[in-house]
Chain A
Amino acid sequence: METLETNFKPLVPIIEADSIVIRFSGDSGDGMQLTGNQFTDTAAYLGNDLSTFPEFPAEIRAPIGTTAGVSGFQVHFGSREIFTPGDEYDVLVAMNSAALKVDLPRLKKGGIIILNTAGFDKKNLSLAGYPEGVNPLENGSLDEYTVHKIDVTRFTKECLAGTGLGMKEIERSKNMFVLGLLFWMFDEPMDYTITFINEKFSKKPDIADANIKTLKAGWNFGDHTEIFTTRFKVSAAKLPKGVYRNISGNQATAIGLVAAGELSGMPLFLGSYPITPASDVLHELSKYKSSNIRTFQAEDEIAAVCAAIGASYAGGLGITTTSGPGMSLKTEAIGLATILEIPLIIVNIQRGGPSTGLPTKTEQSDLMQAMYGRHGEGPLPVIAASSPADCFNTVLEAARIAVEHMTPVICLTDGYIANGTEPWRFPAAADLAPIKATFVTEPNGENGAFYPYKRDERGVRPMVKPGTKGLMHRIGGLEKQNETGNVSYDAVNHEKMTHLRAEKIEKIADTIPLIKPDSGNETGKLVVLGWGSTSGAIKTAVRELLAEGYDVAHVHLHHINPFPKNLGELLNGYDKVLIPEMNCGQLIQLIKAKYLIPAIGLSKMQGLPFTTVELKNKILEILK
């Protein structure tokens, strides 16, 4: 191809940018997730801070070319700290008409569009739902953007002509052309991706060669044609020194569970049933069988939690992972674990609900379910992860509470941080605190009697492994007599046991660190109180407003039940409390009920995280 072989090299100026958001968008089969991940890995190795947001359709292979089949991957990388995948993107890669239609609305005015013209023929325009005769490439609707129209499909075909590869395989390489072009645009090396391709296709060298050839062709296209007038450079961020890896929330959850097993000395048992977006934790943990981990794909959600309860009863650390609908199914069994008072970790990776709802989109609408979704009085500890890497800390904390306080613990993450990634300065194993698992082997009553529900000063009952001589006893879902654990229908005893179980959960607050603002002062005009995955957006908004001189602060909750002991006092130090949530206002009800504070809510129920702008606008509106 002529343009690729010419030696003419236009001098394209490189502009320094402190952060850039790119959205890769195409059909489900266009390889956008892989392209985005490769770009992300390279940016990470170059020392950028970053945050990613993969967004895919619920259908595995929706009809090709339709808006239902659009798969997107957003990466925000910068030379400063990055906490969100970005409100709007600077660059949109659109592989077909549907991708442009779906993702154009969140492209910055004046932003760059790189589009594959092959995806804008009559058929594709019609599949994307453009009215007959309307072509966004020709009707001036893209005038306010910088548009690069490239026939990626044709260039890829020409580049690989004569390689002997079939048309299908050639077509599949076109994402590499785009990736190469973007590497050129952002002055990033191709080495990491070349290594990746060689490893991935080590058994198919002709495919590896084709991908590398196309990747380089994309780079050369940028380098040798005159259509690009600017390149960008995002320098390395000033991140804390150390060794980093890129990690998604689901990976961090799995690794956190492995660590919990090591730190407690308890063999892990994960009972799970496939459900989006939680299945990846089951997949990931299943790889670590050699770390004394048992993973069990149960026949249903109920069996999954029940098997985990059985494993905990037998002396292991039982875990179950799921999403909202699965939580509903597990509810009765969680009630059993609550009255049995045995360790159990329940991870709910929330998605849009109710019912099947929006399986691949994010939401924080299961908080009330976690708090109150049980029959009878059965308070449980509830903790929430604030970012992909924080899922690691969250499950470790859940394990600590579950094992040391003999209780089920509910961990909340969500689809956004489960699939999103960020660089993680991972800890050294030696720096992680051990989890104290104490198995009782001696009677705790007179004359060799054993009382399974005799509590210590924290209200915690003894943990016994079946197989321990002399301590045989029966436990069950029926109300039990205080201390002996024998079945008791006595009314006063039931009230006492209800209180004892609740007090045990309340006392966990003694072991939780006091809460401090994440940004801003401990008193002031306004605090934004968040929980879970809204952390990045709130942090960015509040820090920007602080820099602009506003009196704002950000407090982020990790422990939702029990709350940190000083939460009420801290919140009372601010004139206004704003609580943004990806639900209709659930934490706000808990806060209002407990502290009688006239907090202000901000809801978003669009299957998408908050943008920084949405938060800033709300804060400024309140401060007016």
Chain B
Amino acid sequence: MSTIAEQEVTPKLTAKDFASNQEVKWCPGCGDYSILKQVQTVFPDFGVPKENIVFISGIGCAARFTYYMDTYGMHSIHGRAAAIASGVKSMNPDLSVWVVSGDGDALSIGGNHFIHLMRKNFDLNYMVFNNQIYGLTKGQYSPTSEKGKVAKSTPFGSIEEPFNPSEIALGAKSTFVSRSLDRDPKHMQMVLKRANEHKGTSFVEIYQNCPVFNDGTFFAFSEKETKKEQAIFVEHGKPLIFGNGEEKGIRFDGLTPVIVDIKESGISLNDLWIHDEKDKTKANILSRFFDTTFNGESFPRPFGVFYTEDRSCYEQSMKEQIEAVTARKGKPSLDKILSGDKTWTIL
């Protein structure tokens, strides 16, 4: 640990300090560039020394992220980053651990690890770059691709329902569920900061454009012409409002969300759905603004922090249990362990 005096003279790091000496090799126009830039931009504000940061990734375009950060890092195998990160965090809870994954890596081959990581709630950050396509293997449909997706392995369209990642995360007892997108740098920076602050597994889904195999999939949520009608940016304590003229609000009719014209209905803003990150029931409904309609009505896609919960972290509980058992039983000597309880002597 450095002393306070030393910390004072250490100049604040810049985004550049977090760039490794490796050439970044994503396709031109890939959304991953923006994510890398936002991460490198916000990291200096976190105040964590570079040597205490570890990036763990699996396989896929997103997974190459690890090589581009001048921190510690492991580019591992397909789907297993969550499991590896669990071991890292168990062994050294002081490290700031960031998992970088994609929709195939996190939700297909790594789906089992994903749900168990959420449940166990290690204090780490789990980013899923969701581009709804397999990029590195050159264009097959992914578990988040829309039904009917025409891709290399589905020339006649996929016949599967897609996963809704935030719904899975909530179902798997995630303590931090959020969504952002590559083409909204400010929003992404805000979400990353919130993820970093959260104690527990912070799940950050980032809609990311793949210009080669799935170009424009999320443009409806990021481009001027459609963004305000099709996306809704939620903030804790604020009413759910969207639309070109911010004229639409969402209110509850019982447990059913309803879109209302604020002026026409004359509803008070206080009577709209006020976003509450701590309310799991509301978070569940919000996460289902995906492909679900309520009473035949479609809802805008939400972005922001949907849900947060304070819950003990796995590595902390593990440490506390070890300390408690040690305090109660004492640390036995190796000789005592070798001999066990019952011995006999041959003279």
Question: What's the Cα separation between A313 and B85 when bound, in Å?
Answer: 10
The one of B52, B83, B116, B342 in contact with A41, judged by C-beta atoms closer than 8 angstroms, is: B342
Answer whether residue A593 sits at the interface, using C-beta atoms and an 8 A cutoff.
Answer: no
Minimum CB–CB distance from B345 to chain A (whole Å) comes to 5
Q: Give the complex CA separation of A477 and B57 in angstroms.
A: 11
- Does A436 belong to the interface (CB within 8 Å)? no
B346 pairs with A476, CB closer than 8 A: no
B108 contacts A by Cβ under 8 Å? no
From B56, B67, B94, A310 is in contact (CB under 8 Å) with: B56
**Complex contacts, A299 vs chain B, CB 8 Å:** 83, 112-113, 116
Contact B335 A429 (CB under 8 A): yes
CB distance from A443 to the nearest CB of B (A): 13
Residue interface mask B327-347, A partner, CB < 8 A = 1: 001111111011110111111
A304 to B84 alpha-carbon distance, docked (Å): 9
**Contacts of A340 on B, CB cut-off 8 Å?**
74
A294 is contacted by which of B51, B91, B338 (Cβ under 8 Å)? B91
A44 at interface, CB cutoff 8 A: yes
List chain A residues, Cβ under 8 A from B332.
288, 290-291
User: Could you say which residues of chain B place their CB within 8 Å of the CB of A246?
Assistant: 342
Interchain pairs with CB closer than 8 A, number: 205
Assess whether B163 is interfacial by the CB under 8 Å rule. no
Q: With A and B bound together, what is the CA distance between A473 and B72 in angstroms?
A: 5
CB distance A307 to B344 under 8 Å?
A: no
A243→B340 CA distance, assembly (Å): 11
Of B87, B92, B342, the residue contacting A307 (CB under 8 A) is B87
In the complex, which of the residues A241, A315, A333, A477 contacts B75, with contact meaning CB atoms closer than 8 Å?
A: A477
CB-contacts of B291-347 with A (<8 A): 318, 321-322, 325-326, 329-335, 337-340, 342-347
- Given the known inter-chain contacts A309-B87, A314-B95, please indicate yes or no for A476 contacting B67, CB distance below 8 A: yes
A332-B77, A467-B94, A477-B76 as given contacts; A310 in contact with B347, CB under 8 Å: no
Closest residue of chain B to A307 (Cβ to Cβ) is B87
Give the residue among A271, A307, A465 with the most B Cβ atoms within 10 A: A307
**B86 lies within 8 A of chain A by Cβ:** yes
- B196 in contact (CB, < 8 A): no
Say yes or no for A318: interface residue by CB 8 A criterion. yes
Chain B residues whose CB sits within 8 angstroms of the CB of A615 once the complex forms: none
Q: Which of A384-411 contact B (CB under 8 A)?
A: none
Look across to chain A and name the residue whose beta carbon is closest to the beta carbon of B57: A476
Residues of A with C-beta under 8 A to B83: 298-299, 302-304, 306-307, 310
* Cβ–Cβ contact A240 & B346, under 8 A: yes
Q: Give Cα distance in the complex from A240 to B329, angstroms.
A: 33
Q: Which of A290, A336, A478 contacts B322 (CB 8 A)?
A: A290
How many whole Å from B38's CB to the nearest CB in chain A?
20
Flag if A300 contacts B74 (CB, 8 Å).
no
Within 8 Å of chain B (Cβ to Cβ): is A133? no
Is A47 positioned at the interface, with any CB of B under 8 Å from its CB? yes
Residues of B within 8 A of A335 (CB): 77
Residue of A nearest to B94 (CB): A467
Given known contacts A241-B347, A243-B345, A466-B92, is B322 in contact with A306 (CB within 8 Å)? no
Contact present for B330 and A310 (CB under 8 Å): no
Q: Which residues of chain B come closer than 8 Å to A308, judged between CB atoms?
A: 87
Chain B residues near A426: list those with CB within 8 A: 338-339
B268 in contact (CB, < 8 A): no
Question: When chains A and B are docked, how far (Å) is the Cα of A315 from the Cα of B51?
Answer: 14
Q: Assuming the A-B contacts A271-B87, A294-B322, are A303 and B80 also in contact, with contact meaning beta carbons closer than 8 angstroms in the complex?
A: yes
In addition to A245-B343, A267-B91, A466-B88, 17 A-B residue pairs with Cβ atoms within 8 Å of each other are A243-B345, A245-B340, A288-B337, A289-B321, A290-B325, A292-B331, A293-B322, A306-B77, A307-B83, A310-B85, A311-B87, A314-B54, A314-B89, A314-B90, A426-B339, A427-B338, A470-B51
Q: List 29 A-B contacts (CB under 8 A).
A: A47-B346, A236-B346, A245-B344, A255-B337, A258-B334, A262-B334, A267-B91, A269-B87, A269-B90, A269-B91, A289-B325, A290-B322, A292-B322, A303-B86, A307-B87, A310-B84, A313-B87, A313-B88, A314-B88, A314-B92, A335-B77, A429-B335, A465-B92, A467-B94, A469-B49, A471-B51, A474-B67, A474-B69, A477-B75
Q: Considering the complex of A and B, which 5 residue pairs feature the smallest CB-CB distances, nearest first? A: A310-B87, A476-B75, A306-B83, A307-B87, A314-B91
